[in-house]
């Protein structure tokens, strides 16, 4: 019996990584040479899911190599991605394509990257995206999919999940088939990110590091990536001695390392509570994390103190009072979403997290936001 228990404890995560990655300014130009060998036949097109912020931006769109029946679908990133949106895009692709596409290429931030991952899965797996929210529910390998981030911080380019808001929950499709087959990291693509958004998405990376490095799931693997990402975040957001290009390069690598860190540990309190905000109020991930993290001194004293310094340094004013007019039912919805994220709490507080993380406790925190 004891031997069996010990064996169970010895089971470690065997997680998939992105098998191919290009990094470098201007590497976006290599897209054609990367994709060409992956075209199955002239009828099997490539579908580019592109953030609609790039519509009419020829410096980017003219470099998307379109041939045969390849198509660009412009997609808004104003709202968090939804399972219904994935279903609609999949239906649109099936109806307009002669056969299964050769690949899906996502060009954008976390929102577009997550949609690209989910669409590539749903093109080979029947039913609605909502049926696959959870852990390891995907049965068939996704079609070839490529991620090209245009804003840095989420780590979505490297992760094993695609976070979606579904009919009854906000939860990722976590599976071995989720990670991209190819990622192109071209920091130049981030040059026009608006300043506030740059901060919010960058802070997503910073918060990944704080939550990973201060969690009970921490191990040497996640620590080594987390510490590197944390240092890079400090270089970028605190010391502020870098050129614009260095900042873009380093934040792109911080995002990657932060994503690698949480892949082998977990996020924590800010993410659990931010999912609640996002589910009820539609608050976007980056800003939602910032709003929550600002009030988490008791959990992450050093991390929050430094966050407040960075906020000040970059003149960021976070929205206040977003929970002011919520009723009891609405608070309960957010609290239940947050409490359902068991691994996040276990990582943050430990196995007996339920002793301190009660609905009342979460209500008192949400009331401050």
Partner from ligand NAD, Zn ion, none contacting 175, C-beta within 5 to 8 A by type: none
From the list Zn ion, ligand NAD, none, partner contacted by residue 193 (C-beta under 5 to 8 A by kind)? ligand NAD
In whole angstroms, how close is the CB of 50 to ligand NAD at the nearest point? 10
**Nearer residue to ligand NAD within complex by CB, 42 or 59:** 59
- Report, in Å, the least distance between residue 109 CB and ligand NAD: 2
Neighbours of 249 (CB within 10 A): 23
Q: How far is the CB of 255 from ligand NAD (least distance, A)?
A: 9
240 binds, among Zn ion, ligand NAD, none (CB under 5 to 8 A by kind): none
For 107, other C-beta atoms within 10 Å of its C-beta total 26
Residue 82 makes contact with ligand NAD by CB under 6 A = no
SS3 content of the chain, % helix, strand, coil (to 5): 50, 10, 40
Of 159, 222, 274, 283, the one binding ligand NAD by CB under 6 A: 159
Dist CA 274 CA 291 (whole Å): 8
Burial class (CB in 10 A: 0-12, 13-18, 19+), 332: middle
Stretch near ligand NAD under the rule CB under 6 A, chosen from 27-35, 106-114, 124-132, 297-305: 106-114
> Looking only at residues 286 through 305 of this chain, which bind ligand NAD when binding is defined by CB under 6 A?
286
Which of 101, 108, 147, 276 contacts ligand NAD by CB under 6 A? 108
| 77 binds ligand NAD per the rule CB under 6 A | yes
Partner whose binding site includes residue 148, from ligand NAD, Zn ion, none (CB under 5 to 8 Å by kind): none
Residue 179 touches ligand NAD, criterion: CB under 6 A:
no
Q: Which residues contact 139 (CB under 8 A, 6 or more apart)?
A: 125
The Cα angle at residue 36 between residues 35 and 41, in degrees rounded to 5? 115
Instruction: For residue 202, give both structure tokens.
Output: 């960058």
At closest approach, how far in Å is the CB of 180 from ligand NAD?
A: 10
- Report DSSP state, residue 361: H
Rounded Cα–Cα distance for residues 28 and 36 (Å): 14
Q: Which of 39, 82, 257, 285 binds ligand NAD (CB under 6 A)?
A: 285
User: In whole angstroms, what is the distance from residue 219 CA to residue 122 CA?
Assistant: 33
Which stretches within 235-314 are classed as H helix?
244-263, 269-281, 285-293, 301-313
Q: Are strands 71-75 and 163-165 parallel, antiparallel or unpaired?
A: unpaired
> Which range of residues in 18-26, 39-47, 77-85, 140-148 is near ligand NAD by CB under 6 A?
77-85
Residue 60 or residue 252: which is nearer to Zn ion going by CB? 252
Distance CA 37, CA 144 (A): 12
Q: In what order do the strands lie in the sheet with 182-185?
A: 20-23, 182-185, 145-149, 103-108, 46-51, 71-75
In whole angstroms, how close is the CB of 267 to Zn ion at the nearest point?
6
- Which residue, 80 or 181, has its beta carbon nearer to ligand NAD? 80
Report the run of H or E that residue 68 belongs to, with start and end.
Answer: none
Q: Which residues contact 364 (CB under 8 A, 6 or more apart)?
A: none
Our CB check for ligand NAD shows the closer of 214 and 274 to be: 274
Return d(Cα 175, Cα 261) in angstroms, integer: 17
Segment near ligand NAD (CB under 6 A); pick from 133-141, 153-161, 214-222, 313-321: 153-161
* Interaction between residue 189 and ligand NAD (CB under 6 A): yes
Q: Which residues bind Zn ion (CB under 5 A)?
A: 204
Per rule CB under 6 A, is residue 193 in the interface with ligand NAD? Answer: yes
**Is residue 192 close enough to count as binding ligand NAD by CB under 6 A?**
yes
Residue 118 or 306: which CB sits closer to ligand NAD?
118
């Amino acid at each position: 019996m004891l031997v069996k228990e010990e064996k169970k404890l010895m089971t470690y995560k065997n997680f998939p990584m992105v098998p191919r990655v290009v990094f470098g300014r201007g590497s976006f130009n290599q897209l054609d040479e990367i994709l060409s060998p992956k075209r199955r036949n002239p009828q099997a097109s490539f579908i580019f899911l592109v953030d609609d912020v790039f519509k009419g931006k020829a410096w980017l769109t003219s470099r998307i190599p379109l041939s045969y029946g390849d198509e660009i679908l412009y997609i808004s990133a104003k709202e968090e991605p939804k399972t219904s949106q994935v279903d609609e895009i999949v239906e649109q692709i099936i109806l307009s394509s002669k056969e299964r596409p050769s690949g899906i290429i996502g060009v954008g931030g976390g929102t577009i990257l997550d949609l690209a991952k989910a669409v590539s899965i749903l093109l080979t797996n029947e039913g609605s995206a909502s049926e696959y929210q959870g852990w390891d529910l995907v049965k068939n390998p996704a079609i070839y999919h490529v991620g090209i981030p245009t804003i840095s911080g989420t780590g979505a380019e490297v992760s094993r999940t695609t976070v979606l808001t579904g009919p009854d929950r906000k939860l990722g499709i976590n599976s071995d088939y989720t990670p991209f087959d190819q990622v192109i990291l071209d920091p130049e693509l981030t040059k026009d990110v608006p300043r506030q958004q740059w901060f919010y998405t960058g802070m997503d990376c910073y918060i990944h590091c704080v939550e990973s490095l201060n969690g009970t799931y921490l191990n040497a693997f996640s620590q080594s990536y987390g510490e590197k990402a944390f240092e890079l975040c400090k270089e970028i957001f605190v010391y502020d001695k870098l050129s614009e290009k260095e900042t873009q390069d380093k934040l792109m690598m911080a995002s990657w390392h932060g994503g690698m860190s949480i892949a082998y540990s977990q996020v924590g309190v800010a993410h659990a509570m931010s999912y609640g905000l996002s589910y009820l109020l539609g608050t976007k991930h980056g800003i939602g994390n910032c709003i929550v993290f600002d009030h988490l001194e008791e959990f992450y004293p050093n991390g929050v103190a430094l966050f407040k310094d960075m906020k000040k340094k970059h003149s960021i004013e976070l929205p206040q009072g977003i929970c002011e007019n919520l009723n009891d039912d609405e608070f309960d919805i957010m609290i239940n979403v947050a409490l359902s994220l068991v691994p996040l709490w276990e990582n943050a507080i430990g196995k007996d997290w339920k002793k301190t993380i009660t609905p009342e406790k979460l209500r008192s925190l949400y009331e401050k936001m």
